[in-house]
Amino acid sequence: MSIVRFTLNGAPVSCEVPADALLVDTIRSAFGLTGTKKGCGTGDCGACTVLIDGVPVRSCIYLTCMADGRDVVTIEGLGGPGRLTAVQQAFMDAGAVQCGYCIPGMIMVATAFLNRNPHPTREQARESVSGNLCRCTGYQKIVDAVMLAAARLGEEGR
């Protein structure tokens, strides 16, 4: 067992886990943050995406021990009811959510993408979510949501 210390959604946390524990399982079981979904478990679908030091990472192919000393943000760390981020609000307003399972991962990826690339083209926005699978196949509205968030963030910035 290893003791791992990191920042989770802004708060310092620690846990004791086996060396091969996956971050997605630790986040969901040890910390009860079930917004992060475990989809394929093989790194393909992107539902488990979290931000580590600001960078999107698939937490189902990431060991909890690898997070030691790092800054981890899950969907719960972005915003909740009444204090949604622009990206979260845009996903609702654009009708991007169907069954919802892929959405936390989509929002994490979109958030990191817009932080770095605030004025994307539609093609760039499509590429940013290209590794995240939506089985409802609502991709158009998901890309609409990323573009809507970009436009709103742009207005705020001005």
Partner 1 sequence: MEFYKPSTLQEALKLLNKYGENALVVNGGTDAVLDLTEGRVRPEAIVYIADLPELQSIGCEDRRVFLGGAVTYSRMEADPVLSGVRGLMECLRRLGSPTIRESGTAAGNIAKGATAADCSTMLTALRAEIVLAREGGQRRMALPDVFAGPFRTAIEPQELITRIEFPLPEENEGTGFVKYSRRRMQDIGKILVGARICVQGGVCTGGTVSLGAVNRTVVRSLDIEGRIAGKTLEEIREAVRAARPAEAVLRDSYFRHYKELAVSGAVCEALEAAWKDAVQKGAVQGKEAVL
Ligand X SMILES: Cc1cc2nc3c(=O)[nH]c(=O)nc-3n(C[C@H](O)[C@H](O)[C@H](O)COP(=O)(O)OP(=O)(O)OC[C@H]3O[C@@H](n4cnc5c(N)ncnc54)[C@H](O)[C@@H]3O)c2cc1C
Which residues contribute to the site for ligand X (CB under 6 A)?
43-44, 61
| Closer to ligand X by Cβ: residue 93 or 127 | 127
Residue pair 72/49 in contact (Cβ under 8 Å)? The answer is no
Give min distance, CB of 49 to ligand X, in A: 11
* Contacting residues for 116 by C-beta, under 8 A, at least 6 apart: none
Nearest-CB residue for ligand X: 43
Can you tell me whether residue 51 is helix, strand or coil?
Answer: strand
Radius of gyration of the chain (CA): 15
Give min distance, CB of 98 to partner 1, in A: 21
55 binds partner 1 (CB under 8 A): yes
| Closer to ligand X by Cβ: residue 26 or 132 | 132
Which residues contact partner 1 by CB under 8 A? 2, 18-20, 22, 41-44, 46, 49, 55-58, 60-63, 65-66, 68, 109, 113, 127-128, 130-132
